[in-house]
Structure 1
Amino acid sequence: MNELTTRIVSGVVMIAIALMAAIVGGYYFAVMVAALATGMFYEWMRITRGWGFGWSVAGFVYCLLPALALLWIRDRSGDQGLNLLLWVFIVTWSTDIGAYFAGRRFGKRKLAPTISPNKTVEGLWGGVAAAALLGGAWVWATGLHPAFLVLAPILAAAAQGGDLFESGLKRRAGVKDSGDWLPGHGGLLDRLDGLVPVAVLTSVAVLAGAV
């Protein structure tokens, strides 16, 4: 298989696993989240080895907060928790997919060439548009608070900011990928860097009473 096909196949498998765990919830979802957070922290420690104790603490917080946010979102009463969790997934995944394909098809202007030379302004807008469209459709279909219509494009931009942050870590460490666990995708940090801000900021918005 070529690189794009490998990326698509492995991406579909990962999405299917995440959806099944989210729908079942409870122990199964908690175990998945804990395993992912542990794997992320392992990769963080490998990338930042020798950078000092502060980076270890930062990595622990970086991996812990989104894990707690996802578990808290899923445990909300009734269908609200699952619907909101799936919205988080949809915004994150559609941002990544929209940015990837829009960047490949239309990308000309570099977004942050010193951090991630392959990312483009067109890819950024493609990700934002995809998240606004698909995230908005999910809000309409499930009856989530209308504020999530506005939050979808905002958090899509935050997701791409998370991607750039992780790219900056890798550039400083001199590595291409955070790991090699996922065919066509690299490591867990490479795949979950956008989910980190989306999960955390969604929880903050709910806790603050904004939605």
Structure 2
Amino acid sequence: MSDLAVRTLSGLLLILIALVAAFLGGYVFAVLVALASVVMLAEWRRIAAGWGFGWSVGGFIYALLPALALLWIRDRAAVDGQSIGFELLLWVFIVTWATDIGAYFAGRAIGGPKLAPSISPNKTIAGLAGGIVSAGLAGFAWVQAMHLPQVLILVGPLMAVAAQAGDLFESWMKRRAGVKDSGTWLPGHGGLLDRLDGLVPVAVITAALVLGGVV
């Protein structure tokens, strides 16, 4: 089986698990988020081993904040007194996943100048643009279908930039540590941190926007 096929199958399985847990909500979603947070923290500590106490604290915050954001979005997010938690949570997922997919295929198909060659040699400016376009289109479609606040149409492409910044940050950490992946247990992806690095900023920023009354 090709690397792309392995990556696709394992990615689809993770998406299915996330969607089922998000739909069920409650303890099921809370347990999944808690488990993901623990694994992320463990992988962070593996990468940043020996970097000092500050990095240990940073890893705890890095794993905790998106977990709290996702749980709050699912159970508490509301606009004008009407709950939009499930629909907004899926918007967060959709925008993040669309960014990854758009960046991957645009980067491979177009190539061209590198985005940050000293951090992640495989990422290209074309990939960044593809991620922005893909996230914008997918986010727009979901906002219209679910009648979510229209401001999210403008926010979607910006979230793609945030997601790719999160990806680059984790790539920088791995390069500094001299490791290829955050783990080896997830076929085609490495570790969970490799898969969720883009979701971290998107979840936190989305929760902050709702709490701040922007959405």
TM-score greater than 0.5 by the shorter chain: yes
**Superposition deviation, residue 79 in structure 1:** 5.2
Query: Distance between the aligned counterparts of 1:95 and 1:103, measured in 2?
Result: 12
Aligned counterpart, 1:134? 138
Aligned counterpart, 1:99? 103
Aligned counterpart, 2:115? 111
**Superposition deviation, residue 59 in structure 1:** 0.4
Aligned counterpart, 1:198? 202
Identity %, equivalent residues? 65
Query: Distance between the aligned counterparts of 2:8 and 2:48, measured in 1?
Result: 29
Query: Distance between the aligned counterparts of 2:190 and 2:98, measured in 1?
Result: 19
Query: Distance between the aligned counterparts of 2:19 and 2:111, measured in 1?
Result: 31
* TM-score (normalizing by structure 2): 0.97
**Superposition deviation, residue 194 in structure 1:** 0.1
Alpha-carbon deviations, 1:86-126, whole Å to 9, x = none?
A: 00000000000100010000011100000000000000000
SS at match of 1:84: helix
SS at match of 1:119: strand
Query: Distance between the aligned counterparts of 1:115 and 1:175, measured in 2?
Result: 12
Q: CA RMSD in A?
A: 0.8
Q: Confirm or deny that 1:38 pairs with 2:41.
A: no
Q: Confirm or deny that 1:27 pairs with 2:31.
A: no
**Superposition deviation, residue 181 in structure 1:** 1.8
For structure 2, the 5+ residue unaligned runs are none
Query: Distance between the aligned counterparts of 2:152 and 2:175, measured in 1?
Result: 34
Aligned counterpart, 2:47? 47
Aligned counterpart, 2:8? 8
Query: Distance between the aligned counterparts of 1:79 and 1:2, measured in 2?
Result: 43
Alpha-carbon deviations, 1:8-56, whole Å to 9, x = none?
A: 1111111000000000000000000000000000000011010000000
SS at match of 2:182: coil
Query: Distance between the aligned counterparts of 1:125 and 1:182, measured in 2?
Result: 27
**Superposition deviation, residue 136 in structure 1:** 0.6
Query: Distance between the aligned counterparts of 1:69 and 1:43, measured in 2?
Result: 20
Counterparts of residues 77-88 of structure 1 (less than 5 Å) = 80-88=84-92
**Superposition deviation, residue 67 in structure 1:** 0.2
**Superposition deviation, residue 180 in structure 1:** 1.1
- Letter paired with 2:188: G
SS at match of 1:75: helix
- Letter paired with 2:170: E
Query: Distance between the aligned counterparts of 2:154 and 2:50, measured in 1?
Result: 41
Query: Distance between the aligned counterparts of 1:107 and 1:15, measured in 2?
Result: 27
Query: Distance between the aligned counterparts of 2:159 and 2:138, measured in 1?
Result: 13
SS at match of 1:182: coil
Aligned counterpart, 2:188? 184
Query: Distance between the aligned counterparts of 2:60 and 2:101, measured in 1?
Result: 28
Alpha-carbon deviations, 1:154-192, whole Å to 9, x = none?
A: 010000000000000000000000001210011011000
* TM-score (normalizing by structure 1): 0.99
Query: Distance between the aligned counterparts of 2:106 and 2:35, measured in 1?
Result: 32
Aligned pairs, number: 211
